[in-house]
Structure 1
Amino acid sequence: MSKRGSDFLYLWISDHLSDDPITDHVLLIIEMAVDAKRAAEAQGISGHEIDEEIGTIYKFIMQGLR
């Protein structure tokens, strides 16, 4: 993943991770990953740039849940 892609994900997840209790961790992670990818594409970061490390998106989100 590019530096700008990872920087974007870090900031996006920090801004969008809720403080509310989580009832379904898996669903939250999937929804956030999809939303983050769409937001990145809207800012000119290609889906391919994000997709090459899609596991990293899930890892970022899971770390934020801890």
Structure 2
Amino acid sequence: MSKRGSDFLYHWISEHLPDDPILDPVLLVIDMAVDAKRAAETQDIPGQEIDEEIGTIYKFIMQGLR
């Protein structure tokens, strides 16, 4: 993943993690990964940059949930 892509994800995820209790963490991670990719594309970060490390996105979000 590019530095630009990873920086974007770090900030986006930290701003979008819910404060409320999480009922289904797996569903949350999937939804957040899809939303993060869409948001990146609106910032002119190509989906390919995000797709390269989609597993990393899931790990990134899961770490934020801890």
TM-score (structure 2 length as normaliser)? 0.99
TM-score (structure 1 length as normaliser)? 0.99
What CA distance in whole angstroms lies between the structure 2 residues aligned with 1:2 and 1:63? 20
Aligned match of 1:53: 53
How many aligned residue pairs are there?
66
Q: Percent identity, please.
A: 83
What CA distance in whole angstroms lies between the structure 1 residues aligned with 2:2 and 2:19? 28
Q: CA RMSD in A?
A: 0.3
Per-residue CA deviation, residues 4-58 of structure 1 (Å, 9 max, x unaligned), is 0000000000000011000000000000000000000000000000000000100
Q: Unmatched 5+ residue regions in structure 1?
A: none
Q: Which runs of 4+ in 1 moved over 3 A?
A: none
